[in-house]
């Protein structure tokens, strides 16, 4: 049972991280380059960044509830999606992906915005003068210059998805093989006083987290050693 | 012909200056903080949010900036090459790839030829494969110059680009550069706070002080007092 939940959690976190990076890289680049290219529109960029950060302060159960209602049969949007996919998004793996992407969005966007913004403006100016489009600047200047932020964003988004509970429970319920992730399994095991199983599940979650953080810090150390050399 | 009237506020600094540069080589001369970099950046199309009122820039009668008419041609579309005091080379790219960055529209063979030609011009042919962190300050400035020249701009803006080169190397590079811009019909505006640089250029000089035009004309006239001061110092040495 742990392994089923383990692989489901890994699948959810992998798919979520891939979608998050694909969405967060252009958005973060737009926020950083947009501020440099159109300083007069700074207010708009602040508003979009605030919106992208909202899931950090919103209780996960509240977010899960909003999504449950939005994606369920009560709204036209939910009914439209259900008609399009042939099944409702709520209480399905796809629904969990949607919830996870929204819930972990700030954890991918924030490191990327910080990493992109740390790239000297003189480099952005040089690229602009040489005719680089924003997309080319993102791919040839921002992404290579903020590789560590990219790794941090990926690992944080992955771990945050692995550990999420409130959104999963509200939006996905507890369906084995479909929406029962490791954290839901752990909750069930504790509720059933099966502490031996709960210890195993916790050990898996703990190992995943330590490995991922070790990856970030080992990269940071290698980079530090290189820059000292 | 480069014509401009600029009225810009940057924090507490106010640049209010007009000019009409027709010479092949014009020097912006002034102490640090006089507004040389601010002026060059505005001409290149950067920091346009600092402009006020009647500000306008035209190059060969084409309007590049006109605040009143809402004209702001993007930096990339001005056919301008610029070398700043800090070379700002892309750190993850080799010197050759830096020079090739602005040549995306050329086919591969022409691009490679142009890169080689430009690195050769600035005396950096042997640096082609090196990354910026392996270059000295002077070498990085040479590569930055090659990168700015590669797309063959019509107007070249230089902001103390040879500050990290020693006198002899700087003179040699300046000679080569002058020949190149003359051959290619490129108008150049070079900022410096070094009086010997300004005099050796033998060009027209715009003397800037605290964001205002203090004088404009041939170097020997505009910098007469600076020249006398320099000679006096050399004489007393």
CA distances for B146 relative to A23, A121, B189, angstroms: 36, 20, 16
Pairing mode, strands B56-59 and B212-218: unpaired
Q: Which residue of B has its CA nearest to A126?
A: B88
Find the chain A residues whose C-beta atoms sit closer than 8 A to any C-beta of B: 39-40, 120, 122-123, 125-132, 136, 140-141, 144-145
Is the CB of A130 less than 8 angstroms away from the CB of B84?
no
Contact B208, B39 (CB under 8 A): yes
Contact A208, A182 (CB under 8 A): no
Pairing mode, strands B62-66 and B71-72: antiparallel
Is A80 contained in some domain?
yes
Contact A155, A216 (CB under 8 A): yes
Confidence of residue A22 (pLDDT cuts 50, 70, 90): very high
Q: What is the pLDDT of residue B223?
A: 79
Which residue in A126, A128, A144 is closest to B92 by CB distance? A144
- Does the complex come out with an ipTM higher than 0.85? yes
What is the distance of C-alpha B26 from the center of its chain? 10
Q: What is the CATH number of the domain that holds A40?
A: 1.10.3720.10
User: Mean pLDDT throughout A98-124?
Assistant: 94
- Specify the DSSP class assigned to residue A159: H
Is A131 contained in some domain?
yes
User: Mean pLDDT throughout A16-20?
Assistant: 96
Q: What is the pLDDT of residue A229?
A: 45
Q: State the total domains in chain A.
A: 1
Is pLDDT at A228 greater than 60 in this prediction?
no
**Would you call B104 an interface residue with chain A, using a CB distance cutoff of 8 Å?**
yes
Pairing mode, strands B71-72 and B13-21: unpaired
Residue B84 with chain A: CB contacts under 8 Å: 122, 125-126
Name the residue range of residue A164's domain: 2-223
Q: What is the pLDDT of residue A137?
A: 95
Q: What is the pLDDT of residue B118?
A: 96
**What rounded mean pLDDT belongs to chain A?**
88
Confidence of residue A223 (pLDDT cuts 50, 70, 90): low
**Would you call B182 an interface residue with chain A, using a CB distance cutoff of 8 Å?**
no
Q: What is the pLDDT of residue A202?
A: 93
User: Mean pLDDT throughout A135-146?
Assistant: 95
- Could you give the CA distance from residue B219 to residue B232 in angstroms, rounded to a whole number? 18
Is A139 contained in some domain?
yes
Is the CB of B88 less than 8 angstroms away from the CB of A125?
yes
CA distances for B39 relative to A88, A126, B17, B191, B218, angstroms: 60, 17, 9, 10, 20
Q: What is the pLDDT of residue A117?
A: 95
Sheet of B204-209: strand order equals B71-72, B62-66, B56-59, B2-10, B13-21, B212-218, B204-209, B25-29, B187-192, B155-159, B80-83
Is the CB of A126 less than 8 angstroms away from the CB of B90?
yes
Distance from CA of B223 to the nearest CA of A (A): 31
Query: Environment class of residue B71 by beta-carbon count within 10 Å: exposed (0-12), middle (13-18) or buried (19+)?
Result: middle
**Would you call B82 an interface residue with chain A, using a CB distance cutoff of 8 Å?**
yes
Q: Which residue of B has its CA nearest to A122?
A: B88
Is A91 contained in some domain?
yes
Is A228 contained in some domain?
no
Is pLDDT at A2 greater than 70 in this prediction?
yes
Is A58 contained in some domain?
yes
Sequence-distant (≥ 6) Cβ neighbours of residue A94 within 8 angstroms: A85
Confidence of residue A177 (pLDDT cuts 50, 70, 90): confident
- Could you give the CA distance from residue B181 to residue B189 in angstroms, rounded to a whole number? 11
Mutate to test the interface with A, among B70, B73, B91 (most CBs of A within 10 A): B91
Is A178 contained in some domain?
yes
- Higher-pLDDT residue of A38, B58: B58
Mutate to test the interface with B, among A35, A36, A42, A126 (most CBs of B within 10 A): A126
Is pLDDT at A174 greater than 90 in this prediction?
no
Of A119, A156, A112, which is closest to residue A137 (Cα–Cα)?
A119
**Would you call B46 an interface residue with chain A, using a CB distance cutoff of 8 Å?**
yes
Is A229 contained in some domain?
no
**Would you call B43 an interface residue with chain A, using a CB distance cutoff of 8 Å?**
no
Q: What is the pLDDT of residue B57?
A: 96
Is the CB of B147 less than 8 angstroms away from the CB of A39?
no
Contact A200, A147 (CB under 8 A): no
- Could you give the CA distance from residue A25 to residue A23 in angstroms, rounded to a whole number? 6
pLDDT, one tens digit for every residue, chain B (237 residues):
999 999 999 889 999 999 999 888 999 998 888 999 999 999 999 999 899 888 999 999 999 999 999 999 999 999 999 998 889 999 999 999 999 999 999 999 999 999 999 999 999 999 999 999 999 999 999 999 999 999 999 999 999 888 777 778 888 888 899 999 999 999 999 998 877 777 766 688 999 999 999 889 888 887 777 777 777 777 766
Which residue in A39, A123, A144 is closest to B49 by CB distance? A39
DSSP E strands, chain B: 2-10, 13-21, 25-29, 56-59, 62-66, 71-72, 80-83, 155-159, 187-192, 204-209, 212-218
Distance from CA of A49 to the nearest CA of B (A): 22
């Amino acid at each position: 049972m742990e392994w089923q939940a383990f692989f489901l959690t890994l699948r959810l976190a992998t798919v979520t991280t891939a979608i998050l990076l694909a969405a967060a890289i252009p958005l973060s680049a737009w926020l950083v380059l947009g501020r440099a290219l159109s300083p007069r529109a700074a207010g708009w960029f602040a508003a979009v960044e605030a919106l992208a950060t909202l899931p950090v302060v919103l209780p996960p159960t509240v977010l899960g509830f909003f999504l449950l209602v939005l994606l369920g049969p009560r709204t036209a949007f939910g009914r439209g999606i259900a008609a399009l996919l042939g099944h409702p998004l709520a209480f399905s793996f796809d629904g969990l992906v949607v919830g996870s992407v929204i819930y972990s969005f700030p954890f991918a966007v924030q490191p990327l915005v910080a990493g992109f913004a740390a790239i000297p403006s003189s480099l952005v100016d040089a690229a602009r003068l040489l005719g680089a489009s924003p997309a080319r600047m993102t791919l040839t200047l921002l992404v290579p210059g903020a590789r560590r932020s990219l790794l941090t964003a990926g690992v944080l988004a992955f771990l945050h998805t692995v550990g999420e509970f409130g959104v999963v429970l509200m939006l996905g319920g507890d369906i084995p093989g479909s929406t029962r992730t490791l954290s839901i399994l752990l909750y069930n095991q504790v509720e059933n006083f099966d502490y031996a199983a709960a210890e195993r599940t916790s050990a898996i979650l703990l190992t995943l987290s330590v490995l991922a953080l070790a990856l970030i810090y080992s990269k940071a150390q290698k980079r530090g050693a290189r820059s000292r050399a | 012909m480069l014509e401009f009237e600029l009225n810009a506020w940057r924090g507490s600094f106010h640049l209010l200056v007009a000019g009409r540069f027709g010479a092949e080589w014009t020097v912006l001369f002034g102490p640090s903080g006089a507004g040389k970099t601010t002026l060059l950046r505005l001409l290149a199309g950067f920091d346009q949010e600092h402009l006020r009122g009647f500000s306008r820039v035209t190059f060969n009668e084409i309007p590049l900036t006109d605040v009143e008419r809402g004209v702001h041609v993007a930096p990339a579309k001005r056919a301008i090459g610029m070398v700043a005091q800090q070379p700002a080379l892309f750190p993850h790219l080799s010197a050759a790839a830096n020079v090739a960055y602005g040549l995306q529209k050329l086919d591969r063979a022409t691009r490679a030829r142009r890169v080689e030609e430009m690195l050769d011009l600035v005396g950096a042919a042997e640096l082609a494969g090196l990354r910026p962190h392996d270059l000295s300050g002077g070498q990085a400035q040479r590569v930055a110059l090659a990168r700015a020249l590669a797309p063959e701009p019509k107007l070249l803006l230089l902001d103390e680009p040879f500050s990290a080169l020693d006198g002899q190397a700087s003179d040699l590079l300046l000679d080569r550069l002058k020949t190149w811009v003359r051959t290619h019909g490129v108008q150049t505006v070079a900022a410096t706070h070094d009086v010997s640089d300004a005099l050796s250029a033998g060009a027209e000089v715009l003397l800037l002080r605290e964001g205002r035009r203090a004088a404009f004309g041939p170097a020997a006239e505009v910098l007469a007092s600076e020249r006398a001061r320099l000679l006096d110092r050399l004489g007393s040495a």
